[in-house]
Structure formats: C-alpha cells, structure tokens
Structure 1
Amino acid sequence: MADGSSRVRSGDVVLDVRVRGAGPAVVLVHGFPDTQDVWSAVAERLVADFTVVTYDVRGAGRSTAPPRHDGYRRERLVDDLVAVLDATVPDEPVHLVGHDWGSVQLWEAVLSEADDPRLRGRLASFTSISGPPLDLLGHYLRHNLRRRRLGRVLDQARRSWYVGAFQVPLVPELVLSAGPGLARTAIERLEDVRFGPTFVTDVRHGINLYRQNVGLPSRGLRRTSVPVRLVVPLRDRYLSPALYEDLPAMVERLSRVDVDASHWVVRHEADTVARTVAEHVRAHT
C-alpha cells in the first residue's frame, strides 16, 4: 500500500483518498462541514505506527457530488466506505474512526457489518467521536418524551436547532449565498476552528445529509459485535453527553472516554484523540 493520494470511484461519485504510514490500517472519516484535512493533526500522530487512510466524503473537498439529492442517503455513504476499503486495504481488517457525520455514517456500516457481505469480517474496531447512530438519537428523544423528561428533550432540541432549519427548502442555501463569509466567520469564531477553501460548497452539499437521513423510519436499536470506543467531548454544543446512555444496548463491547473539550475535539485535543485511537486499535489488532 503506497503512500499518496488517489481518486476512487464509488457509483456516481469520485472520492479523493489519501494514504500514509505503515502498519495496521486506520480509516478516519470527517464530518460536516469539514474535509479530510480536519484529521491532519491526528493523522500526524498516528502515521509512525499505523497506515492512515482519509478521504473527502461525497460532495466535500476534492470529491465530487452525486447528481441527485438521494445520493446522500446513508446507504450510499456505506458504499463509499466499501469502495475506499477495496482500493486501499482490500486484504486485512481495518479500524474505523469517525467524527460528527463521519461517525454517523460509520455507525451505519458497523451496525450492518454482520449482514453485509462486503463488510463482514473487515471491521476490527470503531472509534466514534461526536456522532451517534441516528436510530439512537430518535430513541433518546422518544424515550425521554414517554417518561416526561422534558428538560432532556428541550436541551437536545436547543443544541440541534440547526437540524430543523436545514429541512426548510432553499432557505439555508439563500442565507449561505447572501453571506457566506458571515456564516463561516461566525462558526470559526464560536468554535475556534478554520475551514478550507471549499467551505461554501461543502455546506451546500452537506445539508443534504440532514435532509436525506434525519427523520427516516427507525430501524430499532440494532446490535454489533464490533468493539467500539466512544469519545465524548463534555462541552459539545450540539450533542448532550446523556444521549449515549442506552448505547450499551447496541454494542456488545463498548468503552467510553470523556474529554473536557468542545465538538471539534479532533482539532483541539489531537494528542488525546490520537492516544485513545491508538490504544483502542492496539487492543483489537
């Protein structure tokens, strides 16, 4: 497996993929509205011991966008992961790491691994950061509504208000077109992060992740035997730490690491993230 960048076709999109280092393979998948560059600091700390694979997800960075909005469904995102694995690590199990929507889409792969012949036996472990399974999020809200824990429901609704805003047709795109610099500056100042030159198109395309996947019928709390390390930033503005309380019902082998950090923990606490990823990978290699 040679170091370098390549272009990998997955159905109707072409993905920009980067491979570096040597050793057990670790695949890092970014979220919204990032590109694979969000992993730069973490990857630098892992390449001495591992083969690190990153890629721009469909519609982000240097990858192309699908021609139809339903091309952002979580099933297509799993197709992309399979295409990347086939092109870069075809003959050995890999360790998955996802942040934000990268974690959300990897949960779909992990929870379908036992039933998907393309993935069966290929996932050695998963580290999930700031991105729950969509079915767990729906379960959390319904469960707390039934028990009249309205404070919890309102707290998560306050954190994820933008999810509802993204469902309104055209309005997010119009806001973005009218003031792309304002939107970018506001998020960068609030979270102390910096986005790349493709930010506007990344957001415009990435909104479809929410529109095509949030609100779909629940598939229930499916279960996986893939070992999972959950990394929870305790100061995450968008996800309540309590959201994961029923995750043990979905994961046979689960460990949890709480970090005193905000949502973009992969940027702000790269040492901590790299260390916990390496520990989890070594435990399951």
Structure 2
Amino acid sequence: MADWHRFNVRGDGVELAAFSYGLPGETTPGKPVVLLVHGWPDSHHLWDLVAPQLAEHYRVYAYDTRGFGESDRPAQVAAYRLDTLAADMFAVARAVNSAGKTHIVAHDWGSVQAWETVTTEGADDAIASFTSVSGPNLDFLGEWARGKLANPTPSNIAQALSQVASSAYTAFFQVPVASDAFFRAFGSDKVWTEFLHFIEGTPRENATFGPTLRDDMINGLKLYRANIRGKLASPKPRPTRVPVLEIVNDHDIALRPAIYERTHTHAANLWRKRTTTGHWLPYTNPDYLATTAIEFIDAIENGASGTPNTIDRAHVTGPAGDLIGKLAVVTGAGSGIGRETAYALADLGAEVVLADIDLAAAEATATDCKGKGVLATAYRLDVSNTGAVTEFADQVRNLHGVADIVVNNAGIALAGSALAATDEQVDRLFDINLRGVISGSRAFGRQMVERGAGGHIVNLASAAAFTPSRDLGLYSSSKAGVLMFSESLRAELAEHKIGVTAICPGIVHTNITSNAQFAGAADEDATREKVDGFYAKRNFTPDRVAADIVAAIRKNKAVVPVTPEAEVGYRVYRFFPWASRIGARHKLAD
C-alpha cells in the first residue's frame, strides 16, 4: 500500500477518514495542495499509484467519502445527497489547506461530487482547479438528455440510446434487495480484480483495494439511489468559474463521450483531453493520469504547462470538435491529401504538426490551419531518411508531447516498366513510400505504447496495392508493402488500444501525378501530361480522401478503399483474382 497517514475531518455530521501522502511534516510548505477523491466502489487506495507521482510536485491528500473505507457510514439514503457530499468536500479542503485554494482530482462518483462542489456558489474562493475523470455533472447530464429527446434527430436518438445502454446497470442498482445481495455474493477482491482486467485490461497488480471493498460496494449504492432519479428528472445546472479539465475516455464502459458536449456552456474555464482509455484510469493508466493532472495543475499555478502546448491545445472556448486536446502529425502535408487531411483534423480541434520535404509548402498549410483557431507548426522532413524521422519524432515529443494521431502520407509515384527503372529510382521509391511509412509508424508507435493512452496511426497505401498493373509494378509493390505492414502492425498494437488504418485511394488528382516518373517511356513528358490530364478529368479531389481518413480514425477501420474504383478493385482482387490479372495487362497510358 502507498505511504498514507490518517487523520480525521469532521464533515457534514460525519467523521471522515482523511489521509496525507507522507507525513505532513515531510511535505514542503508553500507547495500547491492536491485533494484526491475516489468514486464507487473504491476508497482512497484508488490513488495508490497516482499519489506518489503527484507528491513529487505537490502536497497530496485524499479521503474516504462518507459510506466508504474508514469513514462513517450513515444508514439513511438521504445522507448521500450531493449537496451533503459537497459540504464534506469543502470541509476536507479547508482542513488540508485553510489558507489557500485546493486542486481537486476526482474519479467516478468522486468527480460527480466535485462537480456539485465547484458549481456551489463561492467555490472558486476555495478550489483552484478540478480534474474530472469519468464522472459527469448530473445536472449537465440531465440537461443533455432532455435536449436530445426534445430534438429527436437520428443522431440525437442514437447518442441518447447509447448512453442509456451504457448506464443500464444503474437501474439494477436502484433495487436494494437484489443489488445488495448480488454484491454480497460477488463483491470480493478477486472477482473485482478479474472484472477490471477483463473489461479494460487493468493490470491485476494495479488493483489496490482496501479491506472494506464488499461493504463499500453495497453501502455505496446509496449514491445512486439518492441522486440519479432526481437529478435526471429535474436538472438544475449551475455555472462554475473554477478551471476544469475533463479527461474523456473513449472506451469508458459507463459513460459515452457525447454526454460532455455541452459542458462548455456552464464551465467558463474548460479544458478537455480525450483518449482511447477506459473508465478506471487511476488503476489502468496511472502514469498518464498523473502526468496529465500535473500539466494542468502547473498550467493553472504558473500560467504555462509543463510540456509546451499539451494543455494549451485542450482549451475549450466553444462547441468542441471531436479531436480537441489531441495532437496530430501529418507527413507530406505541403499539398494534396496531406494538406487536406491537416485541414480536416484542424477543423475538429486538433493541434497539427506538419512535415514536408518542402518547408515553405508545409508552412503555408500551417498558416491556413492557424486560421481555423488551432495550434499548427511546420517542419522540414525527408521521410526517406530513417534517422531524420526518428529525430523528428523525438522533437515532436519534446516540444509538443506524444502524438495522438499520425498520418504517414508522404509518397511519390514511379510508373512504367519495372525492368527499365534505374536502381536509383527503385531505391528512392521504396525509401519514401514504404520505409518512410515504416519509420514513422515505428518511431511514433513506440511513444504511444510507452505513454499507455492509445492513439491512431494512418498509413497511405493505394488501390494499386491490390490492383496489379503492368505499368505500376514497382509502385504497387511499395503500396502493397504499406498495406500488409499496416494490417500486421494493427494486430501488434491492438492490445495497446492503438488503431492502425491503411488508406487505399484510387484515382485522385494531386500533384503526385504531375511529378511522377515513367520509366522506359519514349516521351516521358507527354506520357506524364496524358496521365495527369486523365486524373484531372476524373476530378476526385483530395479533400474527399481526407474525409475518409477522419472517418477511419473515428471508427478505427483497418483498410479503407476510398474511390469507387478502389472499392471495386478491392473486392475483385479478393474474390476474382484472375480478373485482376487480366486487367493488369492493360497499359496505363492507353
């Protein structure tokens, strides 16, 4: 167990067991004070792996909320109303920091209680900041649900039903005899450890419970019975001026990300970080949670985040895009699909880091992205240089943080005879198209795995990867390598909740065709002009590919054929490969 030292605090009519991490005399006066608040069915031991990291920077305290752990356990359901729990939190905050403001980090029902606290009048005089993990404001949630039902569009109904399905267990929790008996039978440390491991991969050794777990499970059900029906039936949302960081977990078993979409209408100072993590973040990803909380608290204390821009990009000033708080890296961002993808990611609120061998082109894209109200930075990068790619990934991590999304888009075209191509042309093609993708995926993928908060890698393949052609043998080989590498990497990284997508466009008009080389062509310029003209007439623009890239990230798709001819070619090659082989004999420039 962690180095907790108990003392008592008088709450609203109950004795609360409070704890300092380390003896109070061991902490340095003047450091910011952080108060950790657990949810159901936990106790202060929820924070055993987070508190030591926070204690390197702050004076750290926690407490068992009423009904849990070593605190008093009122028998009446009414004793667990949120206004009473908020009074408890204020009492503990005053006890641990009577002369200053306290930073709150709270999870699950602890976060629900903290929302009640920070929306209480005068809260900004006592609370310096609030980091919310997997626990909404119930008044905000009730308002959100009523708004969806009042405007029953297919999207709104789908979002409401998704949350109803995720919250179905709360109906069972309202039934005292049945739910109490269930947890009396199955509420053991071993069962709960295996549940967390099965649901979201929580390392078994991270699940640190106190000796009161079964009793906490049963008694803590009073939180649900005292608050949910009343709050959702008659929400009374109140504003807060306390700075709030919402950590939104895409894989939260109980709470869908959509329910947070209107928080900004009540929280005047709101930041949001969204990752492919699960509900029990303090157990499953304690390092990520501690790092994120430290960055936010430092930003509030010092006016600047510990790691440049990681918190700055998460600031919510209006209706937030799906990717606000995320960092996206795009190679080949100076034109075509790379540029349009940068625009699409910026439109959704992501900070974008843009790389291209043509720095001026990347800077132009960055300027346009800044006009959309996001942070954007351009770098020169030759993806054929593996060492340069690794250095670039390290530079991004040091200056911007670990990327959440990486789009390995940079590529070139080489058409014509495989026999006529020079060795230099072949080396350059594979160094850029295949090795560049592998290098980018490896460098950024390692960082994502180390962080432990998921991510997504998008690799640009091509319909040529599964459409053989006598004139595209070398190009097709490079893209087929990208496709198979992406499928294999997806399998490797799945356990880390890192998605990998291979995007396979067909005939898309970009400057890749106007710059393509045609090995063995009698008149290369004329051939290039003819092919480029055909692509121009096809008029499938790169912004449409970018839209499919964003959709693939959202839905974590494995392989995405983009154009109609790519869709057809993908299926023909899978089910009628002989037809693909016959078609491969057709000359590209005919």
Scaled by the length of structure 1, the TM-score of the pair is 0.92
Q: State how 1:86-125 maps to structure 2 within 5 Å.
A: 86-114=94-122, 119=123, 121-125=125-129
Query: In the TM superposition, what whole-angstrom CA distance separates every residue of 1:235-263 from its partner, at most 9, and x where no partner exists?
Result: 10110011100111011111111122110
The structural deviation recorded for 1:189 is 3.9
Q: Following TM superposition, by how much is the alpha carbon of 1:91 offset from its aligned partner in structure 2, in angstroms?
A: 0.7
Q: Where has structure 1 moved over 4 Å in runs of 4 or more?
A: none
Q: 2:88 aligns with which of 76, 80, 89?
A: 80
Partner of 1:246: 262
Q: Is the 8 A contact 1:19 1:54 kept in 2?
A: yes
Is contact 1:12–1:66 with CA below 8 Å preserved after alignment?
Answer: no
Deviation at 1:225, TM superposition (A): 1.0
- Superposed, which structure 2 residues align to 1:133-212 within 5 Å? 133-148=137-152, 149-181=156-188, 184=192, 187-191=195-199, 192=202, 194=207, 195-212=209-226
Map Cα deviations across residues 68-90 of structure 1 (whole Å, 9 max, x no partner): 22111111111211221222211
Deviations 1:144-177 (A, max 9, x none): 1222222111111111111111112311112223
Residue deviations 1:47-69 (CA, integer Å, cap 9, x gap): 01101110111111111211322
Paired residue total? 279
The answer to whether the aligner puts 1:236 opposite 2:244 as a matched pair is no
Shift of residue 40, structure 1, vs aligned partner: 1.2
1:107-147 per-residue CA deviation (whole Å, 9 max, x = no partner) reads: 00101143xxxx45111111111101001111222111222
**Is 1:277 matched with 2:281?**
no
Change (3 A) 1:146 1:43: same
Gaps of 5+ in 1: none
Asked which structure has the greater RCO (Cα within 8 Å, sep 6+), the reply is: 1
Is the CA contact 1:166–1:172 (under 8 Å) kept in the aligned structure 2? yes
2:41 maps to amino acid = P
Equivalent position of 1:10 in the other structure: 11
Amino acid at match of 2:130: F
Structure 2: how far apart are the matches of 1:228 and 1:120? 11
Contact 2:187–2:217 under 8 Å retained in 1:
no
Output the amino acid matched with 1:100: D
> Does 2:54 align with 1:38?
no
1:48-87 equivalences under 5 Å are 48-87=56-95
Equivalent residue in structure 1 for 2:133, among 129, 144, 150: 129
Task: State the 1:190 CA deviation.
Answer: 2.9
Q: TM-score, normalised by structure 2?
A: 0.45
Q: Give the stretch that moved more between structures: 97-106 or 67-76.
A: 67-76
- Residue type at the aligned position of 2:46: V
Identity across matched positions, percent: 36
2-structure distance, mates of 1:96, 1:125 = 6
CA contact (8 A) 1:176 1:183 kept: no
